[in-house]
Structure 1
Amino acid sequence: MQTHLYLVRHAHSDYTPDEKLRPLSPKGEKDARKVAEVLNKEGMDRVISSPYKRAIQTVEGISRAINPEINLLEGFRERLLSAGPVADFQAAVAKVWQQENFAFEGGESNQQARARGAKEIKKVLQQYAGERIAIGTHGNILALILSHFDSRYGIEFWRQLEMPDIYCLSFEGLELKKVRRIPLDVKVT
């Protein structure tokens, strides 16, 4: 019996310093409707999300379509890079990927964030075995989760992720059997 976890990187959001309450942009809202349409064809059983608004908004359309509430799980929130803004975001992300145990002040190392995400995935697999589950999440934690199960997923994978993006992880028990990208056909503007 396989369990299929659809990790959904949130749609485009306009930057605000408030990580938790940052909403989707108008383009993100439009793309979230496409996410719901695509996931509806995949036959979701339930919806889980990071507690961050942009992740919730990205999967709430599929939740409305299948009628369960969204279960918010802290383990799927984005990795905290640092306690405050960093001067060069790309360089900061590169540094934490190069040094697994390094963390900026107040932030999480790759090792810490990966362990948090993988622990949440394992709990979901045990609790909802055999289901198809949409999980609203974020780019960096998505890449870190995948890298826990398959070391081929790293910073280059993270760099090519789109907003939104969907990856279906198929498991037998706790063993990852297959990863496939679900095409969305959203136009970059």
Structure 2
Amino acid sequence: MSTNLYFVRHAHSTYTPDELGRPLSEKGFQDANRVTKLLSYKHIDHVISSPYLRARQTVEGLADSVGKDIKIIEGFKERKLQDGSAGNFEEAVKKVWSDYSFAWEGGESNLEAQKRGIVATEWVLKQFKGSNVAIGTHGNIMVLIMNYYEKQYDYEFWKQLAMPDIYKLSFDGDKLIGCKKIWNHQR
């Protein structure tokens, strides 16, 4: 029996410098409702989230809908790019993707963030073997986790993600056996 992890990149948020407490925007809440409707039919057994508010808010409706509490796992929080805000965010992200061991001052390299995400993913795979698990997370860490299993998930892939976005990763034990996009943002 496979374990299915539904990685949910959070919906659109209202920008504030408070990374941990940044809430969803009005559009983000509308899209979170669509996430709930879509995943309610996937027989979700467990709901997990990054500790960041926008990720939790994206999967809260789903947790309520399936009668589950949200388990917070630090390993699924967004990668820390650097201390303070990046002058040119996209260029700063491009740089860390071009050199996996490079880190901006006070930030995580791709290797560091990926390792954190994989430790969390492997824990989920062991704890919830054979289950369907929804994970509220963030674009960069989600793609770094996907990249660990298949290198095609890279910077260019990250750039085309929507907010929200959902990818179903299916595992046999700890071996990835399938990855499928299940969110159509145009609906």
Q: What TM bracket, shorter-length normalisation?
A: over 0.9
Query: C-alpha distance in 1, partners of 2:72/2:83?
Result: 23
Matched with 1:169 is 169
**1:6 deviation in Å?**
0.1
1:68 CA drift (Å): 1.3
Give the match's secondary structure for 2:133. Answer: strand
Q: Deviations over 1:63-119 (max 9, x none)?
A: 001111100000000000001111100000000000111101110000000010011
Task: Kindly indicate whether the alpha-carbon contact (under 8 Å) linking 1:13 and 1:24 is maintained by their aligned counterparts in 2.
Answer: yes
Superposition TM-score, scaled by structure 1 size: 0.97
Report if aligned partners of 1:6, 1:134 keep a CA contact under 8 Å in 2: yes
Aligned partners of 1:71, 1:186: CA distance in 2, in Å?
30
Number of the residue aligned with 2:36: 36
What residue is the counterpart of 1:111 in the other structure?
A: 111
After TM superposition, the score normalised by the length of structure 2 is 0.98
- Structure 1 position 11, deviation (Å): 0.2
Q: Stretches of 4+ moved more than 4 A in 1?
A: none
Who is 2:123 aligned against? 123
Task: Give me the identity figure in percent.
Answer: 51
Counterpart secondary structure, 1:41: coil
Q: Specify the code of the residue in structure 2 equivalent to 1:49.
A: S
Query: How many pairs were matched up?
Result: 187
Q: Give the distance between the partners of 2:158 and 2:75, measured in 1 at CA.
A: 18
Residue by residue over 1:106-154, the C-alpha shift from the partner in whole angstroms, topping out at 9 and shown as x without a partner, is 1000000001001100000000000000000000001100000111110
**Hey, what does 2:159 align to over in structure 1?**
159
**CA gap 1:23/1:149 in 2 versus in 1, 3 angstroms:** same
Could you say what the CA RMSD is over the residues aligned between the two structures, in angstroms? 0.8
Deviates more, 1:24-33 or 1:178-187: 178-187
Residue equivalent to 1:135: 135
- In structure 2, the partner of 1:86 is 86
Residue 66 of structure 2 corresponds to 66
Q: Is the 8 A contact 2:22 2:52 kept in 1?
A: yes
Q: Identify the residue that residue 99 of structure 2 maps to in structure 1.
A: 99
2:185 and 2:175 map into 1 onto residues whose CA distance is 30
8 Å CA contact retained: 1:34, 1:184: no
* Contact 1:31–1:186 (CA under 8 A) maintained in structure 2: no
1:185 is displaced (CA, Å) by: 3.8
Which aligned pairs between 1:9-28 and structure 2 lie closer than 5 A? Answer: 9-28=9-28
How big is the shift at 1:186? 4.7
Q: Distance in 1 between matches of 2:15 and 2:122?
A: 31
